[in-house]
Structure 1
Amino acid sequence: MKTKSTKVVHVSKVYLLAGIVSLFGVVSCDSSGGSNGPTGPDIPEGAIAISSVEELQKIGKADKFPLDGEYVIVEDIQADPTSDWNDGSGFEPIGSGRKPFTGTLDGNGHIIYDININREDASGVALISSIKNAKLRNVILKSVDVKGSDGVGGLAGFSCSSEITRCKVNGSVVGTQKGNNNSGVGGLIGYSGSPTACYGESIIDSSSTSVTVKGIEKVGGLVGWNAENSEIHSSSTSGNVIGDKSVGGIAGANMTIGFTPNPPLIKKSFTDATISGKKNVGGLAGFQRSKALISKSYSESKVSGENNVGGVVGKITFDARVKNSFSDGKIGGVNNVGGLVGQASDSRIGDSYSASEVSGEGSVGGIIGLISGSNETNEPSISDVYWDIEVMSRQGESRVPIGLTTDQMTGESAKNMLLDFQDTWKTVKDDYPALQWEE
């Protein structure tokens, strides 16, 4: 029997995803073969150079620093003095909900250190309060300390019809969520997407966080609430994610309020974090519904909670989907605890597996803790889903396909599983299958 100590693939690639060499290392060239932006003092014609935290704070406040401007950071910025600004409230977030940032900010690979924001009663709290039709790229924030109410993030509080590419956040993000909005708390973005105000897609691509995120509801390592018209690609998280309800490594909630032609998506992303909460807690998403999709993604996280705790998703419902994904972490809870999903109803789960250690008291399973549904029409559809019976010896729901031994799921023998080894998966010597996009 193989053991966890034989795992040789997944740990080594945590900081190699999509050109991310390390959280604060060199940012690689983009797919076009060019550089990620100007270097040194050279900036595009018409762009505005930012070389200090004082200049950063002028955006949206001075005529020469408009909210629709094109900005390039031209050197590392030390923002530690912001802890004493505004009577201790710190840096004032750029823009607002009514006046969002609509321009371009290129971090140019430079680091902004020690941004401090202490506004526990305010919403839209982050380096940038709200973005719309904006482009943020190569922005690196290290040792942030952000406190707000809701819509709280390291980089942006709210994102609408915007592109966020190769951005990184390290530090602490806390949402008190004192109001009734509960629009999300995330390491990168508090809330991404909108049912009414966003008519174009919001894209988060090749971005990462190494953060401690704390909140109450819709708390995520990357995004608090990933809503309609919002997609997350090739991104990763590590650190600690802590909340009460809907807590996840990538997104606390991956969901829409109603059905929409543009449901949210998480694709080619992974987590290696410690995630804890009370209800609906998952390695990738805490709560997922309304055709939202997780695809070609995985979690190696330690996930713990009370009810509805899963290696990939805590609770999934209303035709939401998980496919081509896996969990290889440690999952613990009280009720409804599963290697992939804690509780599932009216959803689709396929072409996936779990090698996670799973423990709990009531409704505990290698794949799904509890299958719910009053009839066959709203029970989940489960196909080509597997778990390691030597890691997790029991499956609470007999309707889930039977498990396999470690030997049957590793190396070339993994082809016993009816996974797509042509276009999606690849076998790994002495290890579980990996997704083909993994390094």
Structure 2
Amino acid sequence: MLIVLPAVSATSIYNWTDLNNVRNNLAGSYTLENDLTTGMADYDTYASSSANGGAGWVPIGSSASKFTGSFNGQNHTIDGLFISRSGTDYVGLFGYAYLGSISNVGLTNVNITATNFVGSFAGASSDNIDRVYSTGKIVGADKVGGITGYNVMPGIINNTYSNANVTGSTNVGGISGTHSGYGSPKIYNSYFTGIVTGSTIVGGITGSMGYGPILDSSFVTGSVSGTSSVGSVVGTFIYSTLTNSYWYNHAGNPSSCVGTLTGSVTCTAKTDITWFYNVSNGPMSSWDFTSDWSNYFDGVTFPVFQWQLVPQISFVGPLTSGNLSQNYIESNLTSTLPFNATTSTINRTLYYVNGTLVSSNSSTTSPFYENISSLTEGTYILNATTTTDTGFTSSTSSTTILLDTTYPLINYSSVGTEGNNTNISQDWIYVNVSLTETNLANITYSLWNSSEVNTTTYTTNTSTSINWTGLADGTYTYNVTTTDLAGNTNQTETRTIALDTVAPTFSNIAINYTTDINNSIDPGSVVRVTLNVSDSFLGVSDVILQIYNGTWENYTMVSLTSNISNSEWQYNFTTQATDATYTFNVFANDTVGNINTSTNTTFYSYWDCTWNVSTNDLGTIGGHDAEVALGNVTITNTGDSQYGTNNCSITFSKTAIVSAWDWWANFSGTYVAQDFDSFLAEPKRGLNYSYNGAKVTSLVVNASESKTLEISAMFPSISGTITEYPSFPIAASITDSESGT
């Protein structure tokens, strides 16, 4: 017979650790994927007599925090569950199972000791418990049962059996210690073949049932003993429903179905044990031997679940499954025989995903290992069946295997992706790739610099580009990695890109020239423009001097240093031969094209006509009726000979007045002392001027010429000494229409 289990979306349990973790989500759905045995590595940690300080397994859930989820054993067993918790209530694999389900599992060789509400599967239950069985030893005080200590509404116990030794004081039963409560909790299609021992209210199926519960189509062949209210099926029965049930009435057992009866029951005693081996006899005639129970009988065997007669087959290591970069598949199959079979035949098949058969093989030996080699790339479906000599068949689930030995092809696209070692003025990096791969798993874009890493992974082959934005200036490195479902990996080259968005800056802009005596720029002079140009990152590329003198002209400046962060630049140019006005600025760009332009600066180049007089304090000099030398005054013409259309020259002439009270001197006539003041009646007074020993009344000083005027004083003839403080202005007449006084 082929048993096909429905797919269940639930958390899988593979070991005792997984089983223990069920307590972390009491509302979850769980499936047991294989038998749990005492030989597993984590058995001692969670379920052995040495676990938890000798107390063994910790029940999942309690009366305060009930297990409300579902547990599907998927036709597997849990062996060797040990619990020693005297003084503790609600004890079993589950402490309290509430409104959920427990199904398709066997608890074998349990050893459980506690106080009240004690059972192999649950201390108390309102679950739907279906197709389960237990063997071993269960000990408690009140409400102790082979499946559950207390079955309370709306709990249903269906298609179960126990061969355990169950011991307690009161309310002790082979299936449930107490089966009670309004709302009609149910036990049906169940049987007990073990030993039940108690004091009062003891029964082969349940110790007590009252006020509403139902017990139907069940039987007892085991031993039941106690002191009061002891029945082969039920210890105490009060106004409930008991129908179509049987017990094996043999020596040592109670001779009645119910120990203490209030109400009526339909219950039949049988003295021939073989009655219970025949599927056509009651109560088994009403059981489901199509889906639940097995019709395999050998004359000495009680009914068992169909899944107990079905061989177990599974793939074990080294099984190659999933997505693989290879051209072969390893298959290793193990078949486990049920108790009634002696041999089985394993049949292995391998198909393409389209259903075409690739290969098949069979063996009567377990484990059955094969290396199916020389396969082409593609997706395969691997499965197997095993059939016992008793005619029962089971199958593995189908395993999908992808074989892919080709590496993905990935390259940078020329559209939008910068080349390696690119320097560019922007704050983003765009990467575009071309990708060829049928079984793409992911594509990862990695960008990093000296301080951070930015990794973005996509799991779809449509994500063949990325744009990192808002990046700071600096040097970045990036690459793209792609991996297919088989783990084949390929990577682009690693590229470097430098981002620079800041333009160069200027400082210390100056014009330097050889000045004339007036500190001005003569036409035809060499003018040097110098400045410092700074760039924060990649360095300065070009510095252009732009000069305007009617039109703009560009001149490439020369760098004097190699320091890219603060370099000095210069350019020498010659002004034109005539007067002119010049405006200049500096244009600079860095290596990625960031541009900056300085503000305009204006200067002038011209011929000038200027002069100055070097005066001296001639001191205090006295005299009487004599001419006394006072000192010298130097007159310098600093003008340019090219000034205007005429020579730049200065002529000194003109007189200043002479006061009777202030001894002023002047250039008047040929001899200053000719002046006469009638008020003082002094004929000799005033100043004399000489140049190169000759008296003068005027003096011509040419451009770039310097002359010294010699000054003497004429003192009058009076009775006392006169002290003079002579001073005088010099008036100039400058050619080219410039004049001053």
TM-score bracket for this pair, using the shorter chain length: 0.5 to 0.7
Helix, strand or coil for the counterpart of 2:222? strand
1:213-292 map, 5 Å:
213-228=166-181, 229-256=184-211, 263-289=212-238, 291-292=239-240
Q: CA deviation at 1:208?
A: 0.7
Q: CA deviation at 1:136?
A: 0.6
Instruction: Determine the C-alpha separation between the residues in 2 that align with 1:231 and 1:144.
Output: 24
| Cα displacement string for residues 65-105 of structure 1 (whole angstroms, at most 9, x for unaligned residues) | x1000000001101452221111000000011111100000
Instruction: Determine the C-alpha separation between the residues in 2 that align with 1:281 and 1:53.
Output: 38
Instruction: Determine the C-alpha separation between the residues in 2 that align with 1:173 and 1:302.
Output: 23
Q: CA deviation at 1:281?
A: 1.0
**Counterpart pick for 1:297 among 235, 240, 245:** 245
Identity %: 28
Instruction: Determine the C-alpha separation between the residues in 2 that align with 1:59 and 1:313.
Output: 39
Alpha carbons of structure 1 residues 227 and 303: separation in structure 2 relative to 1, 3 Å: farther
Instruction: Determine the C-alpha separation between the residues in 1 that align with 2:247 and 2:167.
Output: 19
Instruction: Determine the C-alpha separation between the residues in 2 that align with 1:94 and 1:134.
Output: 13
Q: CA deviation at 1:283?
A: 1.1
> Where does residue 265 of structure 2 map in the other structure?
322
Q: CA deviation at 1:294?
A: 1.0
Instruction: Determine the C-alpha separation between the residues in 1 that align with 2:98 and 2:282.
Output: 40
Instruction: Determine the C-alpha separation between the residues in 2 that align with 1:321 and 1:265.
Output: 12
Q: CA deviation at 1:44?
A: 2.4
Q: Confirm or deny that 1:50 pairs with 2:16.
A: no
> Where does residue 339 of structure 2 map in the other structure?
none
Q: CA deviation at 1:230?
A: 1.2
Higher relative contact order (Cα pairs below 8 Å, separated by 6+ residues): 1
Q: Confirm or deny that 1:187 pairs with 2:132.
A: no
Q: CA contact under 8 A between 2:77 and 2:106: conserved in structure 1?
A: yes
Instruction: Determine the C-alpha separation between the residues in 2 that align with 1:126 and 1:217.
Output: 18
- The residue type paired with residue 192 of structure 2 is T
> Where does residue 128 of structure 2 map in the other structure?
163
Alpha carbons of structure 1 residues 93 and 295: separation in structure 2 relative to 1, 3 Å: same
Q: Which structure features the higher share of helix residues?
A: 1
Bigger mean CA offset, 80-89 vs 70-79: 80-89
1:36-185 map, 5 Å:
37=5, 44-45=8-9, 47-61=10-24, 66-79=25-38, 81=44, 82=47, 83-160=49-126, 162-175=127-140, 177=141, 182=142, 184-185=143-144
Helix, strand or coil for the counterpart of 1:130? strand
Helix, strand or coil for the counterpart of 1:252? strand
Instruction: Determine the C-alpha separation between the residues in 1 that align with 2:119 and 2:34.
Output: 23
Q: CA deviation at 1:203?
A: 0.7
| Cα displacement string for residues 322-367 of structure 1 (whole angstroms, at most 9, x for unaligned residues) | 12x30124xxxxxxxxxxxxxxxxxxxxxxxxx99xxxxxxxxxxx
Instruction: Determine the C-alpha separation between the residues in 2 that align with 1:153 and 1:139.
Output: 15
- The structure having more radius of gyration, on CA atoms, is 2
Instruction: Determine the C-alpha separation between the residues in 2 that align with 1:156 and 1:170.
Output: 14
Structure 2 unaligned residues grouped into runs of 5+: 288-294, 296-741
Helix, strand or coil for the counterpart of 2:286? coil
Instruction: Determine the C-alpha separation between the residues in 1 that align with 2:58 and 2:129.
Output: 21
- The residue type paired with residue 147 of structure 2 is L
| Cα displacement string for residues 14-63 of structure 1 (whole angstroms, at most 9, x for unaligned residues) | xxxxxxxxxxxxxx88xxxx73x45xxxx523x100011121112123xx
Q: CA deviation at 1:433?
A: 8.3
Instruction: Determine the C-alpha separation between the residues in 1 that align with 2:173 and 2:122.
Output: 14
Structure 1 unaligned residues grouped into runs of 5+: 1-27, 257-262, 330-354, 357-425
- The residue type paired with residue 20 of structure 2 is Q
Q: CA deviation at 1:303?
A: 6.8
Instruction: Determine the C-alpha separation between the residues in 1 that align with 2:97 and 2:282.
Output: 39
- The residue type paired with residue 53 of structure 1 is W
- The residue type paired with residue 150 of structure 2 is Y
| Cα displacement string for residues 99-119 of structure 1 (whole angstroms, at most 9, x for unaligned residues) | 110000000011101000100
